[in-house]
Amino acid sequence: MDQTVDKESGWRGSREGWLQAAYDALIEGGPDAVKILPLANRLKLSRTSFYWFFKDREALLAGLRALWHTATTEPLMQAAEAYAETETEAMLNLLACFLSGRFDARLEFAMRSWGLADPAMAEALHAADAARLEALGGLLRRWGHEAGDADVRARTIYLVQIGYISMQTEEALETRLARIPNYVEIYTGRRPTASELARFEARLRGGGT
């Protein structure tokens, strides 16, 4: 961790600490809440401590955008490329990314709200959407779907998941699990086996990898 201590002024905090405080402020109040002095007060640090780690507020916001990519797009792409013996298992790998929390839904919601008022953020969201859809389409094409079919299925998968996030839908795990076989069948045209579903459920409940 990048931590700094100044002999005259004491503890300066860390870059990760400032980013975490900015993340919390963004989730709670949107980008307008990500301001240096309130973050310093939250961390019980001096305002000048901020500048040990970031040039200015824009650099901090850039750090949040990078964090968003790491916490959302990267795990989605990793899940889309994860090893699977069947197409249905590949789709369960993908759905596990969302249901396990590896894809940070709270941060995604905050970024989409941010993009409504910020053209630069909106552009970043459009780029992320395109990259994610391409990853999902690639998954489906690898399992034999022709390009047009893969595109429509990829959009169905993605828009459902983003819809859950945008609507801030909360469902009990049991409810989500009960729907998973149908979702997989809609997304792939095939129904997962009982053993695939058992492994999927064990993973979500902490009993599998």
Q: Output the pLDDT for position 11.
A: 55
pTM for the predicted model, two decimal places: 0.91
Given a contact cutoff of 8 angstroms between Cβ atoms, the answer to whether 158 and 133 are in contact is yes
What is the C-alpha to C-alpha distance for residues 119 and 123, in angstroms, rounded to an integer?
6
Segment (H or E) for 4: strand 3-6
Ranges of the chain with pLDDT below 70: 1-11, 207-209
**Residue position matching structure tokens 């709270």:** 106
Q: Output the pLDDT for position 8.
A: 37
What is the C-alpha to C-alpha distance for residues 56 and 76, in angstroms, rounded to an integer?
31
Q: What are 32-41's contacts with CB under 8 Å, separation 24+?
A: 34/60, 34/61, 34/64, 36/60
Q: Output the pLDDT for position 3.
A: 46
Q: What is the DSSP letter of 45?
A: -
Segment (H or E) for 10: strand 10-14
Q: Output the pLDDT for position 49.
A: 93
Q: Output the pLDDT for position 6.
A: 42
Residue 65 tokens read as 């955008």
Q: Output the pLDDT for position 205.
A: 87
Q: Output the pLDDT for position 207.
A: 53
Q: Output the pLDDT for position 189.
A: 97
Given a contact cutoff of 8 angstroms between Cβ atoms, the answer to whether 191 and 181 are in contact is yes
Q: How far, CA to CA in Å, does 77 sit from each of 71, 139, 161? A: 11, 10, 14
Q: Output the pLDDT for position 124.
A: 97
